[in-house]
Amino acid sequence: MVRWLRSMAAPLAAAAAALGMATAAAANCFPVAHAPDALGQGLPVPIAFEPAALPADGEVRLTFLGHSSFLIETPGGVSAITDYNGTVRAEVPPDIVTMNNAHSTHYTDFVQPGVEHILRGWDPNGGMAVHDVTVGDLHVRNVPTNVREFGGTRYNGNSIFVFEIADLCIAHLGHLHHTLTDVHLGELGYIDVLLVPADGSYTMAQELMAEVVRQIGPTLVIPMHYFSPQTLARFIQLIQDSYQPLYSDTATVTLSSLKLPYHKILVLPGS
Taking 70 as the threshold, does the pLDDT of residue 245 lie above it? yes
> Is residue 14 included in any domain, yes or no?
no
pLDDT at position 150 is: 66
Average pLDDT score over residue span 235-262: 94
pLDDT at position 112 is: 86
> Is residue 75 included in any domain, yes or no?
yes
Is 136 in contact with 161 (CB distance < 8 Å)? Answer: no
pLDDT at position 91 is: 77
pLDDT at position 157 is: 78
> Is residue 155 included in any domain, yes or no?
yes
CB neighbours of 162 closer than 8 A, spacing ≥ 6? Answer: 29, 140, 141, 142, 143, 169, 170, 171, 172, 188, 189, 191
Pick 239 or 150 by higher pLDDT: 239
> Is residue 11 included in any domain, yes or no?
no
Taking 80 as the threshold, does the pLDDT of residue 268 lie above it? yes
- CATH code (residue 63): 3.60.15.10
Q: Is the pTM of this model over 0.85?
A: no
Could you list the residue range(s) of the whole structural domain that residue 121 is in? Answer: 25-267
Taking 70 as the threshold, does the pLDDT of residue 23 lie above it? no
> Is residue 60 included in any domain, yes or no?
yes
Residues of the chain with pLDDT > 70: what percent? Answer: 74
pLDDT tens per residue across span 34-65: 333 333 333 333 333 344 444 445 799 999 99
Split into its structural domains, the chain has a count of: 1
Is 266 in contact with 246 (CB distance < 8 Å)? Answer: yes
Q: Is 133 exposed, middle or buried (0-12, 13-18, 19+ CB in 10 A)?
A: middle
pLDDT tens per residue across span 63-122: 999 878 899 999 999 999 998 886 777 778 999 999 887 666 655 777 888 999 999 887
> Is residue 2 included in any domain, yes or no?
no
> Is residue 161 included in any domain, yes or no?
yes
What is the distance between the alpha carbons of residues 234 and 222, in angstroms, rounded to a whole number?
14
> Is residue 126 included in any domain, yes or no?
yes
Instruction: Locate the DSSP E strands across the chain.
Output: 45-47, 60-66, 69-73, 79-81, 96-99, 117-120, 132-135, 138-149, 152-165, 168-172, 193-197, 220-224, 244-248, 252-255, 264-267
